[in-house]
């Protein structure tokens, strides 16, 4: 398969060819057995009855359009939520044994879709009847589990949905299933492809090429959106955990401002940093999903404007980015698009004058020890410490740690001498240092937004609690996607989304993987 061969252009979107046979060749590297196989039996008759021509039309619509485009066709005589959900389930069955973007399907997905169809009115909201996947560190009540990708939580069934899942349901969304992730949000192992590996789901494979990193930890959320196995997905970020996989897999992803989206029912890593956020194929869909996650009736989509960058001063973090020579073509590309959008481009620089952010690894280790493990030990009475979890995994490594636990052991060592009150102090110190560094960068460049690539500066904006959005920047020379990442000021999420939309409209750099329905 020639993965760099462009077959055609649709609505200014490039399409990257990948035939079904070629897709089946992906992921042939080291892959573990799922601890819970995906169960298609509740959907068997619906999938078998799905018309091929209808599925082809739907896939083209999903690849090219937005949720709003789809909603306009969801009428009594047009598409239905049941049809769209069945189409996605059929694609999951066809492709997900390769891509490993899901760890579990919602057995009630078609029931929820039919209920959405029955409840549809002229006033139904934009997410009504839209299938959504949810990262598996976000709690969902029975019959689904919440495992964080870890064998130790394989049978964990929360009593209630996380608040953001409740809000998705209130918006009329259909919960399609739980997305695979880098186990425990990326603190166990890198896996064979730099992210996306879990004991429960196996290792995620980037739909753009099996040799490309998926990044983590929201690898399954981004992979499912990229391969069109989900309309949209909810990921989470601690430091690049959402932005990186979205960028590496050609998606739009957003880490919202601190506190904008509820963290209730989300398995923590570093509460100071943690935030759920949207992953989508375009900025419009990301804005619609963010509105549902916020749950206050905020309409981010109506404020998107193609001229939102006109006259805006943009600070590009050039010095940091050019340290990686492979970024130079991307910088040229993003600066051309920013200029086309009317932005005033200036150089900017992030400097950690206190050296605080250089100790971020210890902070993550302490987060696992004092936050993640608190969640685990509350549900697994036989475990008390991080070291207990390491011993538990080592007792059955083929099942519990199929890709090793090198990161977990290192983090345990890094954090072994950090006591709980020191961790709390360290999080506040890191927050203050990252805010100071970002404010200095904004101030010195007089910029409305800062511009990075992929997750190069994630530990700053995530720790400070500032919002960030990544938008496709086309492909690197290797063929792997990259993303421009726009960093905004705290609380300016709506403005940042509109600026991201303006870049998207000016650049049209998105590259679609062409997987036959």
| Rounded distance between C-alpha atoms, residue 505 and residue 498, angstroms | 11
| Rounded distance between C-alpha atoms, residue 49 and residue 42, angstroms | 13
| Rounded distance between C-alpha atoms, residue 429 and residue 431, angstroms | 5
- CA-based max dimension of the chain: 65
| Rounded distance between C-alpha atoms, residue 205 and residue 29, angstroms | 10
Of 277, 235, 205, the C-alpha closest to 513 is 205
> What are the distances in angstroms from CA 454 to CA 133, 265, 470?
22, 28, 7
Cβ atoms of 54 and 125 within 8 Å: the answer is no
Catalytic residue selected from 217, 308, 434, 445: 217
> What are the distances in angstroms from CA 235 to CA 91, 153, 255?
21, 19, 9
Concatenating the DSSP letter of every residue in 142-175 gives: TTS---TT-GGGTT---SS--HHHHHHHHTT-EE
SS3 516: coil
Q: How many helices (H) and strands (E) does the chain have?
A: 21, 16
> What are the distances in angstroms from CA 247 to CA 64, 209, 211, 304, 481?
18, 14, 16, 21, 6
Please give the structure tokens belonging to residue 326: 């492979």
Q: What are phi and psi of 201, to 5 degrees?
A: -105, -10
Give the up-direction half-sphere exposure of residue 345: CA atoms within 13 A in the CB hemisphere: 18
| Rounded distance between C-alpha atoms, residue 380 and residue 399, angstroms | 17
Residues 6+ apart with CB under 8 A from 123: none
Number of Cβ atoms within 10 Å of the Cβ of 299? 13
Of 246, 260, 238, 263, the C-alpha closest to 459 is 238
**Catalytic annotation present for 241:** yes
| Rounded distance between C-alpha atoms, residue 331 and residue 324, angstroms | 11
Q: Which residues partner with 179 through β-bridges?
A: 102, 135
Catalytic residue selected from 55, 219, 233, 241: 241
Catalytic residue selected from 55, 80, 135, 498: 135
Report DSSP state, residue 43. G
Cβ atoms of 59 and 101 within 8 Å: the answer is no
> What are the distances in angstroms from CA 259 to CA 294, 424, 435, 491, 494?
10, 18, 15, 9, 15
E strand or H helix that includes residue 438? helix 420-445
Report, as residue numbers or ranges, the catalytic residues: 135, 217, 241
């Amino acid at each position: 398969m020639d993965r760099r061969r462009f077959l055609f252009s649709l609505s200014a979107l490039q399409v990257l060819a990948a035939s079904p046979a070629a897709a089946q060749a992906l992921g042939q590297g080291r892959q573990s057995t799922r601890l819970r196989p995906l169960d298609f039996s509740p959907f068997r008759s619906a999938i078998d009855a799905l018309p091929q021509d209808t599925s082809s039309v739907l896939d083209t619509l999903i690849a090219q359009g937005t949720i709003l485009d789809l909603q306009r066709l969801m009428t009594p005589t047009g598409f239905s939520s049941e049809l769209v959900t069945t189409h996605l389930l059929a694609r999951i069955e066809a492709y997900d044994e390769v891509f490993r973007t899901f760890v579990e399907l919602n057995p009630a997905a078609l029931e929820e879709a039919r209920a959405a169809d029955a409840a549809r009115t002229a006033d139904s909201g934009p997410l009504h009847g839209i299938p959504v996947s949810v990262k598996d560190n976000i709690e969902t009540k029975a019959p689904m589990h919440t495992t964080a990708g870890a064998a130790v939580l394989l049978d964990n069934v929360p009593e209630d949905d996380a608040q953001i899942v409740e809000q998705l349901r209130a918006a009329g969304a259909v919960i399609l299933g739980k997305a695979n992730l880098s186990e425990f949000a990326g603190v166990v192992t890198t896996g064979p492809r730099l992210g996306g590996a879990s004991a429960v789901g196996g290792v995620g494979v980037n739909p753009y090429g099996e040799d490309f990193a998926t990044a983590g930890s929201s690898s399954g959320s981004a992979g499912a959106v990229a391969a069109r196995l989900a309309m949209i997905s909810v990921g989470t970020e601690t430091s690049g955990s959402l932005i990186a996989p979205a960028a590496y897999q050609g998606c739009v992803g957003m880490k919202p401002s601190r506190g904008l989206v509820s963290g209730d029912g989300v398995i923590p890593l570093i509460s100071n940093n943690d935030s759920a956020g949207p992953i989508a194929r375009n900025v419009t869909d990301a804005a619609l999903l963010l509105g549902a996650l916020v749950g206050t009736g905020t309409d981010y989509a109506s404020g998107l404007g193609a001229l939102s960058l006109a006259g805006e001063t943009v600070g590009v973090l050039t010095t940091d980015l050019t340290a990686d020579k492979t970024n130079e073509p991307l910088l040229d590309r993003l600066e051309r698009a920013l200029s086309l959008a009317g932005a005033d481009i200036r150089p900017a620089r992030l400097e950690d004058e206190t050296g605080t952010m250089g100790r971020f690894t210890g902070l993550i280790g302490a987060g696992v020890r004092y936050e993640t493990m608190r969640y685990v030990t509350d549900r697994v009475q036989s475990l008390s410490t991080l070291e207990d979890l390491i011993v538990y995994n080592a007792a059955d490594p083929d099942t519990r740690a199929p890709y090793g636990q090198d990161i977990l052991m290192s983090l345990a060592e890094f954090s072994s001498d950090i006591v709980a009150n020191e961790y709390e102090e360290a999080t506040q110190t890191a927050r203050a240092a990252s805010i100071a560094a970002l404010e200095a960068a904004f101030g010195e460049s007089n910029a409305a937004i800062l511009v990075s690539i992929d997750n190069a500066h994630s530990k700053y904006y995530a720790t400070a609690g500032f919002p960030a959005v990544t938008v496709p920047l086309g492909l690197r020379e290797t063929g792997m996607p990259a993303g421009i990442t726009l960093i905004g000021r705290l609380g300016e999420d709506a403005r940042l989304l509109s600026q991201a939309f303006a870049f998207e409209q000016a650049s049209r750099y998105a590259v679609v993987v062409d997987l036959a329905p």
